[in-house]
């Protein structure tokens, strides 16, 4: 009798778009808030510095997306085509997209559109709203009624902000 586990390599695991958007959105929102908190805590809050902060948040998101894509590529341990690693990294676009509102907010502070001092509070609120909306969407997609979905969204936003505050305190 043939061993069914030796039938060949496992088929590739394709991450669906909804899963990737939700994962990347949550990770990106938490990452952006954590970065702004850390950069504000240890840096200056002048307009010029906020421009550098925007660049650091974007570079960190790009590096994180590359690391996650590469980790998916390595973790699946199956024969890969030559371009599969690049495709795996490209599929992490939601993480980078999720930090763009914070990057724009910081860049806006650099350009004088917003006050540079205190922009971290706006970034914190912005990312809390992103987490709330993502939690609300997942609850609605899971057929939860609106009151329950709003509570789930609020819980997700609160949990995300606890992670951000813990990261800021640890650093």
| Domain residue ranges of the chain, discontinuous segments joined by + | 16-170
How many whole angstroms separate alpha carbon 40 and alpha carbon 61?
17
User: Model's pTM, two decimal places?
Assistant: 0.84
> Stretch 25-54: mean pLDDT, rounded?
91
Given a contact cutoff of 8 angstroms between Cβ atoms, the answer to whether 105 and 116 are in contact is no
What's the confidence (pLDDT) of residue 3?
46
What's the confidence (pLDDT) of residue 28?
95
What's the confidence (pLDDT) of residue 108?
97
> What's the pLDDT tens digit per position in 67-121?
988 888 888 766 667 677 778 778 889 999 999 999 999 999 999 999 999 999 9
């Amino acid at each position: 009798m043939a061993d069914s586990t030796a039938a060949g390599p496992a088929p590739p695991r394709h991450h669906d778009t909804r899963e990737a958007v939700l994962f990347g959105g949550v990770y990106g929102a938490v990452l952006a808030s954590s970065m702004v908190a850390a950069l504000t805590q240890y840096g200056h809050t002048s307009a010029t510095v906020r421009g550098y902060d925007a660049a650091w948040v974007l570079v960190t998101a790009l590096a994180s997306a590359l690391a996650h894509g590469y980790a998916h590529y390595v973790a699946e341990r199956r024969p890969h085509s030559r371009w599969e690693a690049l495709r795996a990294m490209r599929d992490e676009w939601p993480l980078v997209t999720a930090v763009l509102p914070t990057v724009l907010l910081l860049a806006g502070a650099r350009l004088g559109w917003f006050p540079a001092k205190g922009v971290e509070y706006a970034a914190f609120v912005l990312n809390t709203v992103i987490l709330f909306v993502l939690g609300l969407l997942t609850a609605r997609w899971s057929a939860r009624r609106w009151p329950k979905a709003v509570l789930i969204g609020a819980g997700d936003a609160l949990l995300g902000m606890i992670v951000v505050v813990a990261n800021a305190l640890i650093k």
